């Protein structure tokens, strides 16, 4: 089945550690995104990538890093510089463009990160 797979579903991090969240898609989408969700708030964009080997910072990129070496993969690293990393992280993908193509953005099932 085509879709977006995020792993792990639940992750615990100790203070000062870096952790990496995996996101893989087999939809042949060029664009991929990482969002963070906190209780009572909407989704906030961390990083996005329109094409392989290229990515841009979103609204809350500080303390995070990404790579886009393959079309189907867009891993997110939460570094020790991120002071409040406990949240629900959502990966998404789409066909890029200005919207005229009528494309939509599809989401994975999310990963819960908790700092212990």
Q: Which lies closer to other proteins via its Cβ, residue 82 or residue 89?
A: 89
Distance, CA of 53 to chain centre: 15
Minimum CB–partner distance for residue 107 and other proteins (Å): 4
Report whether 34 contacts 74 (CB < 8 A): yes
Minimum CB–partner distance for residue 20 and other proteins (Å): 19
Q: Which lies closer to other proteins via its Cβ, residue 63 or residue 110?
A: 110
Residues binding other proteins (CB under 8 A): 4, 6, 31, 33, 35, 40-45, 48, 50, 56, 58, 90, 92, 94, 96-100, 102, 104-110, 112
């Amino acid at each position: 089945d085509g879709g977006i797979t995020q792993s792990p579903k639940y992750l615990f991090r100790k203070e000062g550690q870096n952790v990496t969240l995996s996101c893989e898609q087999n939809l042949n989408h060029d664009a991929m995104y990482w969002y963070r969700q906190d209780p009572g708030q909407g989704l906030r964009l961390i990083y996005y990538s329109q094409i392989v080997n290229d990515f841009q910072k979103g609204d809350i990129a500080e303390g995070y890093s990404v790579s886009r070496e393959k079309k189907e993969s867009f891993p997110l690293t939460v570094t020790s510089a991120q002071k409040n990393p406990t949240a629900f992280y959502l990966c998404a993908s789409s066909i890029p463009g200005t919207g005229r193509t009528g494309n939509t953005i599809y989401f994975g099932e999310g990963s819960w990160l908790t700092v212990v």
